Amino acid sequence: MSGIADTLLSGDLPRSRILTALLGVIVGVLALAPLLFDGAQAINTAAKICVFIVLAASYDLLLGYTGIVSFAHTMFFGLGAYGVGLALYGWGATWTSVAAGLALAIVAGLALALVIGLVSLRVKAIFYAMITLAVASAFAILAGQLSDFTGGEDGRSFRVPELLRPATLLFRLPLLNIDITGRTAAYYLVAGSAAGLFLSALRVVNSPFGRVLQAIRENEFRAEAIGFDVVTYRTLGNCLAAVMAVFAGALYALWLRYVGPDTTLSFGIMLDILLMVVIGGMGTLYGAIIGATLFILAQSYLQKLMGAAAKSTQGIPVLPDLLHPDRWLLWLGVLFVLSVYFFPAGIVGTLRSRAVTQEQLPKT
């Protein structure tokens, strides 16, 4: 079994018992979510976690492994969502529409990533970040203005293939008394695709190409001095990250059966991705799983937890006001500060470094 896991994870094992246990719990719950939870919110949260694991992992390819700070990542996420969503809206709810929309989105994403990379990656990091911010803002404005095509600020709702519709009953599990519907099929399409994309990214970063990206991140002048074309490698890394983000957007659109600027193109999503990568640990990929899970769970349930805590502390001065659900963003910020303070290299990076330190200690 260890050999299979080593091959599946491209030799990049968690290297920490605590981290292995955390990842095992997260993956296990996500794999069984439709069987474990009845409520719509729980399944929606699990599907969103799967999508954002892919999105955060793709951004970590840029930030953590290549050292590129980009603010245009939501643009590629939106391209995937709009590509599939508008194809289903305009061409009908068929798998052909899904494939055609995804193919067009991938081609458009690759073209934009290539142009942005070749034109912008020759400048210093801060200037590249500003260029990507400008491009992403222009794309978001364009999506809002072309209302006849994109639906403008209201977006587009659309039908998905019959297999993925919630009303479709596929079969029943009599022992568990559970109906397997199109919603279940849609969830496993999202979760299975997310797993495949994540493992593919893990393979990339542990390949010779990934090692070169890490060498460029550590010292681009030395990497260039030994013969690597820095701009070419960075551009290829940008293109790979863009394609992953396009896939994530397509999966999100299929799950929501809706596409709009607020769900895929907003700058708030870009900040969320950045926080997920930082919390989980840059340059680890496993950090995308931990960061996305913790962040989205906090987004989904922190308000409810605070509401329950505020009710239970009635009569105590000040505390119910501090725990009021309207202040959930304040406490989310506090949690982020605490996570950075106690896990300066991210949760995954810190756990791995502690595990290595313990292994190096002399045994008595």
Find the farthest-apart pair of alpha carbons in the chain and give their distance in angstroms, rounded.
Answer: 73
List the chain pLDDT tens, one digit each, 364 residues: 566 777 778 777 888 889 999 999 999 999 999 988 887 889 999 999 999 999 999 999 988 888 888 888 999 999 999 999 999 999 999 999 999 999 999 999 999 988 887 776 666 667 778 888 888 888 888 888 888 888 888 899 999 999 999 888 888 887 777 888 889 999 999 999 999 999 999 999 999 998 998 888 888 888 888 888 888 888 898 899 999 999 999 999 999 999 999 899 888 899 899 999 999 998 889 999 999 999 999 888 888 888 888 888 887 777 777 888 888 788 888 888 888 888 888 899 888 888 767 666 565 5
3-state helix, strand, coil in the chain (%, to 5): 75, 5, 20
Structure tokens at 45: 């949260």
Terminal-to-terminal C-alpha distance of the chain: 31
Q: What is the pLDDT of residues 187-224, one digit of tens each?
A: 999 999 999 999 999 999 999 998 998 888 888 888 88
> Nearest 5°: CA angle at 213, between 3 and 17?
35
Structure tokens at 89: 């809206």
CA distance 74 to 99: 21
Alpha carbon separation from 253 to 1, 101, 186, 320, 334 (Å, rounded): 36, 11, 11, 38, 32
CA distance 186 to 36: 16
Residue 295, pLDDT score: 92
Q: Where are the beta strands (DSSP E) in the chain?
A: 156-157, 169-173, 178-181, 258-259
Report DSSP state, residue 41.
Answer: H
H helix intervals, 92-124: 95-120
Residue 230 φ/ψ region, left for φ over 0, alpha for ψ in the -120 to 50 degree band, beta for the rest: alpha
CA 106 and chain centroid, separation: 17
CA distance 304 to 326: 10
Produce one character per residue of 26-38: b if its CB has 16 or more CB atoms within 10 Å, e if not. bbeebeebbeeee
Residue 131, pLDDT score: 82
Q: What is the CA radius of gyration of the chain?
A: 21
Question: Could you count the other beta carbons within 10 Å of the beta carbon of residue 335?
Answer: 15
Residue 1, pLDDT score: 53
Instruction: For strands 156-157 and 169-173, give the pairing.
Output: unpaired
Q: What is the pLDDT of residues 252-287, one digit of tens each?
A: 999 999 999 989 988 889 989 999 999 999 888 999
